[in-house]
Chains A and B, each alone.
Chain A
Amino acid sequence: MVAASVLPVEVPGLRVLLETMNLRPGFADPDNTLVTFGAFDRLHFARFVILEDQTLGDLTAYGVAFPDAPIWLVFLGDCDGDGREMVEAFARDAAPGLRRIFAHCTDFAPTTDLRQWMHSHSVSPATQYVNWVGRTVLDVCQEAALHAALRAALPVEAGPQPAIALRNTLIAEVARHGPLPSPRPPTPLAWRLAQLGRAGLGVLAFLIAIPVGLLIAIPFLAILRRRETRDAVIAPRPTPAHVAELALREDYDVTNQFSAFGNVKPGRFRLWTLVVLLWVVNLTTQLIYTRGRLARVGTIHFARWVFFDDRRRLLFLSNYDGSLDSYMDDFINKVAYGLNLVFSNGIGYPRTRFLILGGAEDEQGFKNYLRRHQLPTEVWYKAYPGLTTSDLDRNTRIREGFERSAMSDEEARAWLALI
């Protein structure tokens, strides 16, 4: 992710330029001339967002101000493999367009070395979530094609045919005419080692957390409860104009984008609580929630939390299936505790108890809060429109079943039911 500040005078022109990349409001044309997203075959999702914070006034609840708060332009790509290589690819293959866009940033001159500039403006997320670790764009596309081919190969009248026989017929048919998924490259050794390291770190953190937790639990809870009862709740209804700006860019595909920005509650207590929690969440998304679900929520493709301005502000970005109403429903009814843990450290969040209770359970306050902090995503790209996480999940299971050498009758029936 690349982030650079933009002067207020540049913002309107930048918005107009970014809009030229779109097919529909906020919805990128994969072949647009500025950044031909469709040509980058490792890219799942991408977006441009302008972080023009409308909620800075909320700081007065804490008697502080942030008068020279910068406006950030964020360019984010969710990709396979190394993010630095993705930046290299963008700088190499989309230079003219990116130059035109970044020319609106405060420190970008016509003579600037784009590659170097992008690297020096790269920011890493505090927490990152990937629906299915290791599923590449290539996998997604090939598995979708495999599903389509198997579906097309189904006999019109399946008749009372043994499942195993039907499976064999289908496999033979697709093996003859393709398309066949290419063999998966082995998982890189370096990644396995790193994962092992992270697991070790997790165990270590857990072991340390128990005594430390016991030691600080009482003072921590005492401070926390004091704050929780006094912190201001700022969750008025968002203005109709703001909601219209956001809704204009929603519900074209089965997947939608979400970008929200807000201020962290001032003071070290909230900051360190947040830093530690995001670190822990990140560990779980790397070690535990790597196969289709983030706790009970299965509709998120990619999500991340990123600090800005010396960790005074926090950005949340996600790509989710369905409409915002269903996303909010998931948040409130399935993972309120998880959202509370993180977002209750932001100014104005509905009142929580012990970090996990309350908060998002104030349904309307929570919805107001999120909508009010949400920002229009100027440009949003998805490499595989029309496919939801559950489609991807099913297609992966189809491929795994396709590549299996043999199956029992029951397994074959379950596999056929997927097609």
Chain B
Amino acid sequence: MAGADLTVPGDVTERDDVQALLRSGFGPLTEACFLLLRVADVVAARAWLARVHVTSMADLDTKQETVLQVALTAAGMRALGTDPKVIDGFSAEFVAGMAGDAARSRRLGDVGPDAPEHWDWGWAEREPHALVMLYAQPGALAVFREEVVGSIGAGFDVLTSLETSDMKGHEPFGFLDGVSQPSIDWNGERAPGSAADLDYGNLIAAGEFVLGYRNEYGRLTERPIVDGAQDERAAALLPRAADRPNAYDSGRNGTYLVLRQLEQDVPGFWRTMSAAAPANPIPLAEAVVGRRLDGSPLVPLQPQRIPGVGEDAGDRVRNQFTYTRDPQRLACPIGAHVRRANPRNGDMAEGRTGLVGQLLCTLGFAADTDADRIAPSRFHRLLRRGREYGRLLSIREAQASVEHPPAGIHFLCLNANISRQFEFVQNAWLQGTTFGGLTGEADPLTGNRAPLMTGAATDEFSMPQGGGVAKRVAALPRFVTVRGGGYFFLPGVRALRYLAG
């Protein structure tokens, strides 16, 4: 692939216009809640959106006691009276919504008990218009929330409030979470598409996570552009479009936010692991996830640095690896959650192999054809910013527990192209029963276990063994159920004022 067009801007300079969530998950602000709102009084709702203080990336240069972030759905924009032409300029997935049509639900695996009609929120009258995310220091959320809800007044109704709990960096099954994240190339230093990308890299173009900047194809992702001559408000409020004269960009500095409430059956998970591996369920659970409970990888680290890994030594210890040293999938099963969610592939499965090797691979004569079936990672990365809810049980408590106290993840990720990033990962890699040449299995952790049309199972999990026959666990029950979800747009601060009409 040819190198990127360097005239397309790659560096994000308008830091005061980008919502802070793109820069941080606000770890020290351990209390958080996500308010899902519906427009009640349009005038009041617009007025609130126009004046509310939204924390920006630049604000994080100083310590923040509280943080507020706002995102809108397409339904919300319609309810607020945003120009329909602008709404239609957003991506088709966003305009249709996560639960917008049966074909999308089928692709995401939202069928059977996961189908939108069973969700607590996210569908029909329970589709949110806005998402307001509140973060505060321990003990400070209640007051902050009261203040915000008070200021919203009659503008919005609270459809539901998603509470979160601090599990000290773990998710409810007990694994350390948030271990691997893409590093964002904020300064546009890397030219995507060079020979270096034949190997896996973790420094990803800003345009994969923020609209208006160069993406991994060296281009600007489609977004609504407004003609300045026809829309004075746009000219007054919005940033200029980088690729068209006299035009304004209502996507710039914003991004898409995917939210899914994923309920986890923690007792069921640990009981299943114990039943399949009575002597010690932990290694099996770690194979299912693809990392150890403490977050360390199952495959050996490599001596060579990986671009974008290793700002600190802790990161290197957890992320300086790819799966090329485990071609037979013995250390980490190919079907493990993290190996699916990020196969750590470069543009060519075998990485840089010299001119002849590269030519052979391009023409289809790679030695490891199985690895070459998997798409390159850099086009399918997600910036995860979810938070947990419920109470964290120890493994022993989970195994003994009879009732299921609800617990799970408010899975939240940011990406500039929902179909190429979130939907691709969810569909092709997690729910996909064809991933990496596997058969009969989807993600052992999050799979919906729905059989194929033919009745064939998708609920197995296989672990290749050096001795020959793979170890298999059959008939895994479902561990994760979707309770709600939506596609939101997390606009730039100026665009928020514009979109709010």
Contact = CB atoms under 8 A, between A and B. Distances in A.
Nearest to A293: B364
A358 B218 CA distance: 12
Contacts of A267: none
Given A363-B217, A390-B434, A326 B375 contact: yes
B327 interface: no
A329 B379 contact: yes
B363 A295 contact: yes
Residue among B219, B373, B467 having the largest count of chain A Cβ atoms under 10 Å: B373
B230 interface: no
A163 B379 contact: no
Residue among B1, B369, B434, B437 having the largest count of chain A Cβ atoms under 10 Å: B434
A325 B424 contact: yes
A7 interface: no
A326 B424 contact: yes
Nearest to B2: A357
B19 to A, nearest CB: 24
A88 interface: no
Nearest to B437: A390
A108 B98 CA distance: 46
Interface in B175-228: 217, 219, 221-222
A396 to B, nearest CB: 13
A129 interface: no
Given A248-B103, A364-B222, A333 B468 contact: no
A391 interface: yes
A323 to B, nearest CB: 5
B469 A386 contact: no
A60 to B, nearest CB: 24
A228 to B, nearest CB: 14
- Chain A: number of interface residues, binned into ranges: 35 or more
A292 interface: yes
A251 to B, nearest CB: 5
A125 interface: no
B376 interface: yes
Interface stretch (B153-161, B254-262, B290-298, B449-457): B449-457
A364 B221 contact: yes
A294 B364 contact: yes
A244 interface: yes
B419 A325 contact: yes
A330 interface: yes
A166 B469 CA distance: 9
A361 interface: yes
Interface string A354-368: 000110011110000
A333 B379 contact: yes
B369 A416 contact: no
Interface in B255-282: none
Given A386-B454, A416-B469, A292 B464 contact: no
Interface in B387-435: 419-420, 423-424, 427-428, 432-434
A42 interface: no
Interface string B357-371: 000011110100110
A416 B469 CA distance: 5
Contacts of B366: 296
Contact of B222 (A163, A237, A250, A296): A237
Task: Describe A's contact surface by its main secondary structure.
Answer: mixed
Given A326-B375, A416-B469, A293 B369 contact: yes
B468 A166 contact: yes
A323 B107 contact: yes
Interface in A272-305: 289, 292-299
A253 interface: yes
Contacts of B106: 251-252
B467 A323 contact: no
Nearest to A394: B437
A391 B370 CA distance: 12
Given A166-B469, A390-B437, A322 B364 contact: no
Nearest to A160: B467
Interface in B96-138: 96, 101-104, 106-107
Nearest to B419: A325
Contacts of B456: 386
B470 interface: yes
B350 to A, nearest CB: 11
B39 to A, nearest CB: 23
B88 to A, nearest CB: 9
B439 interface: yes
B107 A413 contact: no
A325 B363 contact: no
A336 interface: yes
Contacts of B441: none
Contacts of B427: 323, 325-326
Nearest to B217: A363
A182 B387 CA distance: 57
Contacts of B102: 248
A295 B364 CA distance: 4
Contact of A361 (B1, B222, B465): B1
B104 A417 contact: no
Contact of A413 (B101, B376, B466): B466
Contacts of A297: 364
Interface in B1-49: 1-2
A361 B433 contact: no
User: Which 4 A-B residue pairs are closest in the complex by CB-CB distance?
Assistant: A416-B468, A247-B103, A386-B454, A295-B364
16 contacts: A243-B92, A251-B107, A252-B453, A253-B452, A253-B453, A254-B434, A295-B364, A296-B366, A321-B434, A326-B375, A326-B424, A357-B2, A362-B217, A413-B466, A417-B464, A417-B469
Interface of A: 24, 154, 158, 160, 163, 166, 237, 240, 243-244, 247-248, 250-254, 289, 292-299, 321-323, 325-326, 329-330, 333, 336-337, 357-358, 361-364, 385-386, 388, 390-391, 394, 412-417, 419
